[in-house]
Chain A
Amino acid sequence: MGGGVLKRLTFFMDPTVATLLAISVILFTLFLIIPLITVAIEPVLPGPGGYVYTPLDVFKDPTMVRLSSSRQPVIIRTINYGGKPTTLVVIVGPNYGAILNTLLNSAVVTVAASIFGLIVAFVMARYDFPGKTFFRVLAMVPLLMTPFINAFVIRKIFSYDGIISYILHNVLHLPILIHIDYLAGVMVAQTMTFWPIVYLNVYASMMQIDPSLEEQAENLGARGFRLFRTVTLPLSLPGLAAGAAVVYIFSMEDLGAPIVFREFNMMSYRIFSGLQAAITGTIPPYVSSLALILLAFALAIFLAIKKYVSLRQYAMLSRGGRWVPRVRRLGVKGLLAIYLLLLPALLFCASPQFGVFVFAFCERWVGTFPQGFTLKYFGEMIHNPILFTAIRNSLMYSGVALLIIVILGVSTAYIVARAKLPGIGVLDAIATSPIAIPGLAIATGYFLLFSSRIFKNTPLDPISSGPWLLLILAYAIRRSPFTTRAVFAGLQQTHEAFEEAAMNLGASRARTLRTIVLPLIGLSILSGALISFVYSMAETSVSVTLGGINRAQAPITYAMYDLLYSGYVYGPNLVAVMAVFLISIQITIIVVTNIVLKQRYAFIGV
């Protein structure tokens, strides 16, 4: 068998395959695998004083794991508000330490987002009603990229002087005020933000169900909920599993909501703050252990659902619809439910993004309602040195990352799709894994590895050279699956015979790649690259953790975090302006890929 493998290798290997393979293997090894191995071995290396702080020690730390909550989840007080005794309900959620809080939060958010996403997907996939297009657009709004500021708006909405309390107290005249904060706030904010990921995946699954399968079940007498339970739901499971898994990961590694809701007892926040401390002093011993645990949790969920979906589907889902889908009109009761329940729910989930626009265009927003209209904050994009530098940096980093992504994505996808090399499945899995790997684990790995003695004073060393190169590389690795998958899909849709015909006529592989493959899949490459670019611009976890090492090199998302928490009065307005800038790029690219390039992808990244 060994001889057979060697024979295969020599038969399918040529200079082009070798080059592409080398590009792929070297980049992933240096900037994904080795950093992650660093995270894994750091905990067992002796720290200062020879003490080894292992992941087991993390579990003994009461700030990480505690079996009874250190605080009351709901506090009810009677206060004097506007001269009247009023009940103030403060919902903060429990505190079981960073690790359990993170698990509890991800579980709650995943379940809540899955239920809501499933309901919306079913309604959208199977019913027709006036205004459906508006509903569909509305459902996508939470996916617009508004790092930090969307959670900021949600916190404002649920504050004791926010809209919800205002409605209860001043409109409905109830003697009650509601304030949501800490872990409870994180749960609400993440559910509102992440549910469309489930919706899009389930919707795609449902549109791919052959209508005759449901018709056959109906024909045999199944209807209503039974039809849904026995046929529609099981066939949508791949979408549900994929969507839920992505929500679980995003929820675990999200930094925005914990920072905004001041929930510092979460793994993501502890890793973040630990790395911040490391920039100026020494790295707290628990950081790499936490990053390792976070990584393990993320990978565990993917292994758990592997039965339903292969990893590659996460990066990109075709919106399906090979046949005329089964849609039917709704009766009066159904229409009432859609307009009186679903519409307000969708509007509510989209409200943070609307709030971001309000913040961008209002003079100030203190208390319940915003005050004044202005465009002056948009002028700051050019005149304010923090904003201007951050935007310029992000455009530069994402642009360079894009080049790397295209080379890496085309190399990897081509090798995986076309070169019949033994063991190529491993490369495929590695190339897709950045979807599942928390950015904070990568940030930790980069920091540990590249600030170590080996890389001292090289451009990779974040302490001496600043984080610019690491940010570019992190963007390239983390966002490459979007392009790799798009190129892979392009190759799958292009019959291999086109390439075989060229090689058969004497064209070398390099020439075949240049004259046949690239012209045929150009659009796939372009659309994948555009998506990668958008999500590089909005990358948060690595940007925020490493971006602060040298402020002059900080990217957009770091500046947004910084402006929001540096105590600057107009901070939220400026952050909102930057979010509007990001949203405009995102919408432009969605329009370009879907309408101009006619590439139909559902977006799932945040």
Chain B
Amino acid sequence: MIQVKKLVKRFGLKTILRGLDFSVAQGEFVALLGPNGAGKTTFLRILASLSRPSLGDVSIAGHRLPHEAAQVRAKLGVVSHMPLLYPDLTAEENLQFYARMYGIEEMDARITEVLDLVGLEHRRKDLVRAFSRGMQQRLAIGRAVIHNPEVMLFDEPYTGLDQDASEMLDEVLRSVAAKGRTVVMTSHDLVRAEELATRFDILSRGVIVASAAQKDLQNTNLLAFYKQALAD
């Protein structure tokens, strides 16, 4: 579903990604782990078509970036640590806006479905301004799935959430991932990642240094694996 070969990203003279190889099969839930400054967010922004690769090949759902960005965008749902919502609009109006931007027909039915999915149907007519951080983040997920994307990208979705809100987000993320979607999530929260993901890739200094499937980790825990990968 996602194919990345020898990806290099430079900002001026700084090289953030150094020949990164990465591939994800359909239905996988990959957690991208690594220390701050490893290039996780930069990498995710390139996958999201928000940033152009300096060198290398990136293709998502059979379309190459950056040339076929429009086709990729139609199949991509992105949740970042910022909600990408307008505080002066209601939950419904926010979703209506994004539904229009994705050319969705039968908008009302779809919005009801999405609000149900993220558990915010009862707050449909409320201003996003009045939402708690956790509710905003759930609505942000609703926004990201409005066009039923095949591939989802989460960039540190738990930033700024308390325990309750994080648990609810787990539920939503699980149900979003359960539809056969392909998911890539960056996180520095190993506990959350361990619960959700089916595969763990460790990113350090611009390359993937280690990768392990969940079933291969039965005996060791994720933290040990993570530390081992970064120590090498």
Asked if A and B bind, the verdict is no
Report B's interface with A, CB cutoff 8 A: none
